[in-house]
Structure 1
Amino acid sequence: MKFASILVNFSESVSERLSLFSVSRKLLLAAHCTLLSALALFATPKTLILGGDEGWKEIASLDGVSVGEKNGLFGYNAIELSTKLGNANPTTDLYLSFDEEKVHDLAGNYTVSENNLVCTDDAVKGNGSALSRGINKGLTLNGNKKALFGKSGAMGSFTIEFWLCPTLAENGEAVLSWRSALNDDINSEYQMILASFYKNHLEWTFKNIFIGYRASEIHLAGYNTVVPNKWARHTVSFDEESGLLEYLIDGRTESLVFITKNGHENGTICYPKLGVKADLEICPDYVGKIDSFRISRLPYALEKNDILLTGNEKYKTKGGKLLTKPILVSHSAVIEQIDTLMSVPPETDIRFYIRSGDNCYGWNDSYPEWREISPGEKISGIKGLYFQLYAEFLPDGKGSQTPRLSEIAVKYDEQAEPLPPFKITAQAGDGSVTLNWSYSVDDNAGGYYVYYGNRPGEYLGRMAIQGNSPVNVGNRTSVTLTGLENGRIYYFAVSAYSKIDGRINGSLSKEVFARPSSRLAKK
């Protein structure tokens, strides 16, 4: 019986202790939750919108991407992979994208003197192409002194390239025409560069262009038949290093000849020379669409490896990127996540990266370190006065599709600024002023700054022994500033700073004033 009684008493004691432990644990958890809740009250959820209705004002740089007009979701201006080549390279002599209603040379070397082409949305490159109806000479260009066709003399290496979608490709339809004369003291020779259709093939003719070549007229005809209503890229190129004159369709060689004295590789090269300046005519007799017309000072062998877009892809397969400016938020701002509005076709992608810090002036390409993030997922450890976003735009493997980014919503928590004291008084003394104020009603307040100066609202004081304005007085509600000049008036205000981060300073209290005087000296 005694043993049973002892066992019962022991069990009750253990039960009571476990019960007490459970209660203590619950109290600790409750206290922890209360603390977290209190801290959460100090933070204000905020959202910063990039793109969308706000536009892309915070963008620092775009590389291989561009902002389209109302091309994104909900009619927003979206960022997408760029197809524009034009003045992206100093070797570009002429570039006509036909993406805009007004046709102009994006390289800035040619002016349009006459244009009878019609803009159309059916583009193989970019957002538009041009329709030629075979009347009124199409498009006429006049080159300046920097243009290959804007002056007389040696021409050097060149590449002429354009996309065609012919309606019929009838005999005699001319896509490009340049006609002039090469004069010397005795003779005058007719010169011509012509690209026209013959028996459903595009044929290039160079007449009296290459000085010293054994034939005055050179013909390069395509091997494959041109298919009506189908886009194809036509390229003719001359390499002054090798003498190779070559015609290609969609990057495949159709015809070639070495412009040398003996007509073979490694012979003495005959260089091109242009005579009297003349206009360049595009689509003077052609019926169909044309897109992405450009002339380069590089031969095709170098041009195809250049940073400009070549090949049959619509977008650069290496993709593009955007970088925002370092964006100012507030001290101790915590980035929670980003949400995006974007369209991502199959096999394409947009990858996002973020970094942050309190001082952006020492930032470079690799510091602070970039962190990859995913839209809609929680972000941890990204906080500070500044943050910066970086995004990579990746097309499909064929370079035929681009992702589009219409908006980025950056969600972050900002520590709230504590409220100032509601009541403040100033009592003058001999070379001093004593300030008293009430505690801030804001639980977020961790201390106070005292501002002072000699003009209302201008707290630039530097004479007090306690320090220059503002003076950090800690978490108290009274201070006496000494070292002040008797007879001068002083104005004061007090602000509270955050207990979470002392750099977060609230607004100022009402202003008070006092005038120290020697008659107020204590006896």
Structure 2
Amino acid sequence: MRSILLSILLLFLLSGLYGSDQQIFLGEADLWENVNLTNLTLIPGKRGYLDITNQDNTHKPDKHSDMIFPFNSNSLADETGHYELISPLTLSTQEGSFGGSAALFAGSEPLLIQKKASSLFSPSTIWDDFSLEFRLYPATLKEGSTIFLWKGLQMVDNQLIPQEIRCTVNNRKLVWDFENFFLYPDSSLNRVTLEGEKLIPREWTHHQILFNSETGLLEYRIDNVPADSTHTSKSGRESVEFNIPVIGNQQSFPIELGENFTGLIDELSLTRSISQQPQLNRYTDSGYMESKIIDLQSPDSTLFLIEAEQHLPDNTSIVYDFALAQSKIDLLGPNVKWENYIVGNPINRKGRFLKIRARLFAEPAVDSAPVLSSLTIIYREAAPPHPPLNVAITVSDGIFLISWDKSIDPTIDGYMIYYGDQPGVYFAEGSPVDAGNNSSYLLEKLDKNRRYYFSVTSYRNDDRRIESRFSREISYSP
């Protein structure tokens, strides 16, 4: 019977070494406020919370940017500040649009864009290198519909010369006409035309006009593949003499987009450079999330599991790493020791401070990206050991013998004796004393003529000493 009771007590003590499982959540209710994102973004997710996914390849303003209209719900304006919309804009969330939406055209009035600050379309502006680009999704390819139109006026020898950049649908192709846009030395009238390949309705394509001011090469690319090109010389061939773009000195009219066009236009931009590669894929190839340092409260806390709620379309992936340490310092700087982790696999490692990293890999070929909704960290904080029982004191010839019943807890590494001259206040000289893993200890330097109060704790030595609460207090009176 005694052995059965001891076994039950041992099981109770072992189960008490650790508290109940605890959980820490990243995402959902905390809205990912404890993570840092690189090339990732937050999007509306399940149950009204936010999800993490790869960032859209939308244009970002730089020193070369003259116009950027992403046509996104959170960014309706020109991000360079040079232009403004002066007619109503309707957005569509058609799949494939960058940033989640694009400008919608219903086959009628154009969208008007007016310059409002110094820009490339300001009168008398001489252009150097430039790139004009947008993404196009035609629902239909109506003959003669206009995709892009700008008009200006140039005064030469008291004569007004009209200027145009016009992009229209002709025989299921986009045709670009530049009328008197490239200034000839003799001010003669001129027209430069570029023509693309036939388009397929209800498919996204990227269109880009590039001009190299060092060679005079004017090029039209579709999905970054050359479709047509010419030189702005009088012969249209490469020459040391060619003409450069000049905006008329009289008037620059608003830009018109999408007159009589049915479909979507997205990511309209104008740049004073031809060095940047166009973004043909919606998502960045990869990005990563790194959590801030998470405190598991105790060096003896056991990290059991990290669970993830995620969505992985075909050929996308999320790779997880974690770093567990006893000190915050070990989780700072570039030398963090990351360990790869497969979601759902047990970890069973001890430590106090934790960081988690998730690397998200998109699939550019089909414009799909993984989605991370939440992370759940499952751990158990170590409970302190139980104090010893039956603490007693025996005094003989001024020597104090403190004794106790050793714990049957096999993880106990030793005992500490505390004493003082007031109840519960154990600050007497020499207190506390490490009694080792014994069941009694002799205190020889105490004054037998003073009153003392004693208590004993048990402790475990893992990565640091963890003590129990105080035992029942005993006292000595002379």
- How would you bin the TM-score normalised by the shorter chain? 0.7 to 0.9
**Cα distance, 1:344 vs. partner?**
0.9
What's 2:270 paired with? 295
Q: Which residue in 1 is equivalent to 2:27? A: 51
Q: What is the number of residues matched between the two proteins?
A: 426
Distance (whole Å) between structure 1 residues aligned to residue 262 and residue 254 of structure 2: 20
Shift, 1:289, TM fit = 1.9
- Counterpart pick for 2:227 among 231, 234, 254: 254
- The CA distance in 1 between the partners of 2:185 and 2:107, in whole Å, is 34
Counterpart AA for 2:246 = K
**Residue 379 of structure 1: aligned partner:** 347
Superposition CA RMSD, Å: 4.5
1:321 equivalent to 2:294? Answer no
Partner of 1:191: 163
Structure 2 CA distance for aligned equivalents of residues 149 and 506 of structure 1:
77
Q: 1:181 to 1:496 in 2, by over 3 A?
A: farther
C-alpha distance 408-416 of structure 1, shift in aligned 2 (>3 A): same
Cα distance in 1 between the residues matched to 2:265 and 2:62: 22
Using the alignment, how far apart are the partners of 1:206 and 1:495 within structure 2?
A: 90
**From 42, 60, 63, the counterpart of 2:18:** 42
Distance 1:45 1:291 in 2: 50
Structure ranking higher in strand proportion:
2
Q: 1:352-391 maps to which residues of 2 (within 5 A)?
A: 352-361=320-329, 363=331, 366-380=334-348, 382-391=349-358
CA contact (8 A) 1:347 1:397 kept: no
Q: Report the AA paired with residue 50 of structure 1.
A: L
Higher relative contact order (CA 8 A, sep 6+): 2
Match of 1:342 in 2: 310
Cα distance in 1 for partners of 2:366, 2:85 equals 35
Which position in structure 2 is the counterpart of 1:424? none
Amino acid across the alignment from 2:110? K
Cα deviation digits, residues 162-190 of structure 1 (max 9, x gap): 22222443343222222223457966543
TM-score (norm 2): 0.73
Residue ranges of structure 1 left out of the alignment (5+ in a row): 1-26, 422-437, 451-463, 480-493, 510-523
Give the structure-1-normalised TM-score.
Answer: 0.67
What is the deviation of 1:354? 1.2
Asked whether 1:218 is paired with 2:186, we answer no
Question: CA contact under 8 A between 1:149 and 1:279: conserved in structure 2?
Answer: no
| Residue identity matched to 2:173 | H
Query: What secondary structure is seen at the aligned counterpart in 2 of 1:148?
Result: coil
Distance 1:397 1:121 in 2: 19
1:400 match: 367
Residue 76 of structure 1, CA deviation: 3.9
Q: Is 1:175 the counterpart of 2:151 in the alignment?
A: no
Structure 2: segments with no counterpart, 5+ residues:
389-403, 419-426, 444-455, 472-478
What per-residue deviation string (whole Å, max 9, x for no partner) do you get for residues 494-522 of structure 1?
9998654547689999xxxxxxxxxxxxx
**SS of match in other structure, 1:38:** helix
Instruction: State the secondary structure of the residue aligned to 2:121.
Output: helix
Q: Partners of 1:404 and 1:189 in 2: how far apart? A: 55
**Where does residue 67 of structure 1 map in the other structure?**
42
One-letter code aligned to 1:289: L
In the alignment, residue 228 of structure 1 is paired with which amino acid? Answer: P
Structure 2 distance, partners of 1:196, 1:449, is 92
Who is 2:449 aligned against?
A: none
> Residue by residue, what CA displacement relative to the aligned partner does 1:232-284 show, whole Å, maximum 9, x if unpaired?
22221112233221112222222111224664336245332334555333224
Q: Following TM superposition, by how much is the alpha carbon of 1:393 offset from its aligned partner in structure 2, in angstroms? A: 1.4
Q: Equivalent residue for 2:173?
A: 201
Q: 1: CA distance between counterparts of 2:42 and 2:34?
A: 13
Of 70, 79, 95 in structure 2, the residue corresponding to residue 97 of structure 1 is: 70
Q: 2:279 matched to which residue of 1?
A: 310
**Relative to total residues, which structure has the larger helix share, 1 or 2?**
1
Q: How many percent of aligned residue pairs carry the same amino acid?
A: 21
